[in-house]
Amino acid sequence: MRKILRFFDRFEDKVRGALSHFPMFYAFLGGVAVVSFWRGVWETSDLLGITPQASLVFGTLIMMSVGILVTEFLGNRIIITGLRGDKKLEEKTLKEIEDEEMFLSNLKTKVDRIEKMLIELSKKKDI
């Protein structure tokens, strides 16, 4: 079983790497796959005689159980900004957006510097 999982993991990496060079085709192929998947779910539900109401309850319970109900329909960014009390992007002034971009840029620079230090430290440790 582990070999099968490893094969598909490597296969997925290769396919994603190849398709990433063709984003429009990648998006189209992904869209076809998602629609085909949900069509299969829909048709299987019909074959099993599951009513729309039962599907709604069943689907909601599953999504609540695995923790994706809210994030699927709202997204993580909306939830996080709401918890922090941030303004919506369209409510922010140009100055606020520029300040946020500057903060993130500085943060990225610091993280890059720390990463380089860790790499150098691990090289010295290997010697």
Sequence spans of domains, the chain: 1-49, 50-86, 91-127
Between CA 94 and CA 92 the distance in angstroms is 7
- Give the pLDDT of residue 75: 65
Mean pLDDT in order along the chain per 10 residues (127 residues): 88 86 90 93 93 91 81 65 64 76 91 92 79
Q: Indicate the pTM of the whole model.
A: 0.50
Cα separation of 12 and 26, whole Å? 13
Nearest to 83 by CA among 70, 64, 99, 69: 70
